Chains A and B, each alone.
Chain A
Amino acid sequence: MVCLPASNGDPRNPSSLQYIDPSGRSNSYQQAIMEVGEVIQFYDSDKRFPAWGFGGRTSDGSVSHALNLNGASYGDEVVVVEGIMAAYASSLRNVALAGPTLFSHVVDKAAHTASQSLSQNSPKYYVLLIITDGVLIDMAGTVDALVRASDLPLSVLIVGVGNTDFRQMEILDADNGRRLESSTGRIATRDIVQFVPMKDIHSGQVSVVQALLEELPGQFLSYVRSRNINPVGAPAI
């Protein structure tokens, strides 16, 4: 599941993070999609990804915070990384960029998808990749949504592009050992968020993929171990 904002700048403006360069040079979002997508696509058998955008105004004039990036009203899946790239480019042409950055809608949508698999008796683990420039206006709502999702087979990877203050994302990442706490006093069952800013990556030695996927194995194992889910073919304990 891939989710991109449509909220930061005009794709025709070279100073915009979402500038589509006629010469074909990738913008920050495209770089992030390529680098991360190329690795995580191998963990998906059919290589079909639902791709959503947030903060976009669609042709009917409504602002959506979980719109289908491919522009279809039904069916949100796109095929492999090239599909995400194409959907992203077409969405920039067809969706007017609108409004604030909200995560809670896409996190809830991903949680809903992950929860559906629980009742189908064919265990799956989901990864939501969010690429964003950062400043959330629904921090409390996002924390609530992440806490609600923390007991589901779901991890959320967040890539930060641009030079915004990413302190909010660091809080969501919860690497300081403090579990997220919702407005109702529920505490996250486990850490499901990993945040990596692109600028750190480009100035350092680690690849974005390495940094982003660092916590995923642990998050995955914390889920399956708590539920005694064994890999198929493993000797029964």
Chain B
Amino acid sequence: MSYSATMKRSLEIEVISAEGLKADRKPLKRKTYSVVSIDQKYFASKPDDLGGSCPVWKHKFDMEMPINGTVGFITVEVRYRTSGGAEKHVGYAKIPVTDFMGGFAPQGHLNFLSYRLRDEYGDKCGVVNVSIMVKPDRSIPVPLPSSSFAPCSSQAAANNHMWRPRTSSSMASTAVYGGGRVVTGVPVWCAYQRPA
């Protein structure tokens, strides 16, 4: 059992924003922050600079999640601090692990997820937007997706390589995110563009 107890997966979580935050049924004017908790571990984002009912945090961080079946939910809470320093809770949402692991989302897929926030009385008090990516675990072979349905050819694109994910090659992503320098050369994806 000690083996399964140490099985963890690293998640890249971004708390992006919230919409329509309310406290006592009135639009919130405070500078809120969000707290993500997994299995008694917490991560708090920076507070929103402007304050108000539609805060934008865009705060990205990594968290570990045990995958031995003990964790069924990730919790996201929205809070603010009063001028006296007291911590107040606006609302929370529970994110089922199955919304970003297993199911429709392959490993390494960036899941954009939104949830209804509810306050301590269960009343609706806004919506929170997050993204969650399960980082691919290189030590475990990735199982192929189940093939219970026949492959589909109904792509909207005129051929399979009409698009490329900008981050599909390490070269491209380095060029884009690695300090903003201009890189000349032939991107790796070009080699795959025109199969003979």
Q: Give Cα distance in the complex from A43 to B94, angstroms.
A: 39
- Using A45-B158, A125-B155, A127-B156 as known contacts, say yes or no to A109 and B149 having CB atoms under 8 A apart: yes
Given contacts A116-B145, A186-B114, A188-B114, contact A44 B150 (CB under 8 A): no
Q: Tell me whether B104 and A111 are in contact (CB under 8 A).
A: yes
Structural contact, B116 and A149, CB atoms closer than 8 A: no
| CB of B61 to closest CB in A, whole Å | 20
Question: Which among A74, A122, A227, A236 is the interface contact of B161 at CB below 8 angstroms?
Answer: A122
**Nearest-Cβ distance from residue B45 to partner chain A, whole angstroms:** 20
Q: Which residues of the partner chain B approach A149 to less than 8 Å between Cβ atoms?
A: 104
Docked-complex contact A187 and B116, CB < 8 angstroms:
yes
Q: Which of A49, A149, A229 has the most CB of B within 10 A?
A: A229
Evaluate whether A189 and B156 lie within 8 angstroms (CB atoms) in the complex, with A116-B145, A116-B151 already known: no
Q: What is the distance, in angstroms, from A49's C-beta to the closest C-beta of chain B?
A: 6
Minimum CB distance partner of A153 in chain B: B156
Instruction: Other than A116-B151, A151-B104, give 8 A-B pairs with Cβ distance below 8 A.
Output: A43-B156, A43-B157, A45-B159, A45-B160, A123-B157, A126-B156, A148-B103, A232-B161
State the Cβ distance, A53 to closest chain B Cβ, in Å.
Answer: 15
Chain A residue contacts of B115, Cβ below 8 A: 185-187
Tell me the B153-194 residues at the A interface (CB within 8 Å).
153-168, 172, 175-176, 187, 189, 193
Min CB distance B189 to A, Å, is 8
Chain B residue at minimal CB-CB distance from A125? B156
Q: Is B74 an interface residue (CB 8 A)?
A: no
Cβ contacts under 8 Å, A109 to chain B: 149
Task: Give CA–CA (A50, B106) in the complex, Å.
Answer: 23
Interface size class of B (residues with CB under 8 A): 35 or more
- Set B103, B144, B150, B163: member contacting A50, Cβ < 8 A: B150
**A231 interface residue (CB < 8 Å to B):** yes
**A237 and B161 in contact (CB under 8 A), knowing A43-B156, A44-B153, A48-B154?**
no
Residues in B whose Cβ lies below 8 Å from that of A74: 150
Instruction: Please state if A151 and B157 are interface contacts (CB–CB under 8 Å).
Output: no
Contact at A118–B154, with CB atoms within 8 Å?
no
A75, A115, A151, A236: which contacts B150 (Cβ < 8 A)? A75
- Name the interface size band of chain A: 35 or more
Is there contact, CB below 8 Å, between B154 and A151?
A: no
Q: Is the CB of B160 within 8 A of A237?
A: no
Q: Which of A99-129 contact B (CB under 8 A)?
A: 109, 111-119, 121-127
Contact of B166 among A46, A184, A236 (CB under 8 A): A236
Question: Could you tell me the distance between the alpha carbons of A45 and B165 in the complex, rounded to whole angstroms?
Answer: 20
In the complex, A237→B180 CA distance in Å? 10
Which residue from B110, B155, B158, B193 sits with its C-beta under 8 Å from A227?
A: B110
The residue in A74, A75, A184, A220 that gathers the most chain B C-beta atoms within 10 A of its C-beta is A184
Q: Which residue of chain A has its CB nearest to the CB of B157?
A: A124
Instruction: Say whether B106 contacts A118, CB under 8 Å.
Output: yes
From B128, which residue of chain A is reached at the shortest CB distance?
A: A187
Q: Any chain A CB within 8 A of the CB of B109? A: yes
CB-CB nearest in chain B for A66: B149
Contact B114 A187 (CB under 8 A): yes
B164, A125: Cβ atoms under 8 Å?
Answer: no
Residues on B with beta carbons closer than 8 Å to the beta carbon of A126: 152, 154-156
Chain B hits for A172, CB < 8 A: none
CB distance from A4 to the nearest CB of B (A): 15
Q: CA separation between A74 and B151, bound complex, in Å?
A: 11
The listed residue with most A CB atoms (<10 A of its CB), out of B127, B152, B156, is B152
Nearest chain B CB to A188 CB, angstrom units = 7
